[in-house]
Amino acid sequence: MLGGHTVVKKKVESVASGEHGRQEYVRVLFALYRSQHTGILDIQFGKKSRKLYFLGGNPVGYRSDLPEDEIGRTLVNANLLPAKQVNYFREKLSEGENLEHAIVMSGALTTEQIAKHKRARLATNIGSPLMWGSGSWTFYPRPSTQVSRIDPALRPDADTLASLWRAVQQHVSMDEVFPTVTAPKAGMAALDPLCGALFGGFQVDSPFDAVPDAIADGSSIEEVFRKLPDTSGN
């Protein structure tokens, strides 16, 4: 599944799309990850857009037209540069020059410092679409890209699953999830066959690291709660 009721084959050769929502986004991103798809996922909310660039199932880059995701603003918010200095660089930009290049050429930050900052922003942007409760998504596949020929050292490690879990904790409320998992038609909680191999990638904190053991071969949500006493609301 690649979100909602859209069926996705092992190799996506054509554009796929659907309605965006928090649950749908988690499904889409996880499907791209586990099936190792390569392409561009574009999430639209009104006239706003966030894009994630996937290589072999992992996001390796992002683009956003939201003002808060602009590189100058994120450098200021990360306390890497003062706002006055960033504004100065903007004012001095010549035609064809970008802010990132100007900052590096000035010596204010190194290429490595900006690259590290962008890796952190990538991890944030993996989960940012969860802030939108509606909209639409489109995946543009790039099946001709030969992932095996790209040096792994050039790919940023964004801890895809861990970034997704952190975003779920931040942007998805218990009130939103609880009615779904406790609905009579939902049945028993069960583990995906790949859970054993993938669960560690979510990097969940205790007591949630014991979720697979609590669910075992199948458990009710009430049983899971009893086995994992927690008062955090997560």
3-state helix, strand, coil in the chain (%, to 5): 50, 15, 35
pTM (global) more than 0.75: yes
215 and 156, same structural domain? no
Instruction: For residues 211 and 214, give the distance between their C-alpha atoms in angstroms, rounded to a whole number.
Output: 5
- In terms of domains, do 28 and 55 share one? yes
- Long-range Cβ contact pairs of 205-210 (< 8 A, separation 24 or more): 208/234
Check whether residue 49 and residue 130 sit in a common domain.
yes
Choose one of 155, 171, 187: the last residue of a domain.
Answer: 171
d(CA 80, CA 117): 9
Pair 122, 219 in one domain: no
Edge-first strand listing for the sheet containing 136-141:
16-19, 136-141, 39-45, 48-55, 58-64
Please tell me whether residues 155 and 183 are part of one structural domain: no
Q: Would 233 be classed as within a structural domain?
A: no
Asked whether residue 110 falls in the same domain as residue 34, the answer is: yes
What is the chain's pLDDT, residue by residue, as a tens digit (234 residues)? 444 444 444 454 689 999 999 999 999 999 999 899 999 999 999 999 999 999 999 999 999 999 999 999 999 999 999 999 999 999 988 888 889 999 999 999 999 999 999 999 999 999 999 999 999 999 999 988 888 888 887 788 778 999 999 999 999 988 888 888 888 888 898 998 888 899 999 999 888 889 999 999 899 888 988 888 776 666
Domain that holds residue 221: 174-227
- 144 and 221, same domain (yes or no): no
Residue type, 83: A
Q: What is the number of structural domains in the chain?
A: 2
- Angstrom distances, CA of residue 225 to CA of 69, 190, 216, 218: 38, 14, 13, 13
Domain boundary (171, 202, 217) is at 171
Residues 59 and 105 placed together within one structural domain of the fold: yes
Residues 20 and 77 in one domain: yes
Is 74 in the same domain as 161? yes
Are residues 56 and 115 part of one domain?
A: yes
Return d(Cα 140, Cα 142) in angstroms, integer: 7
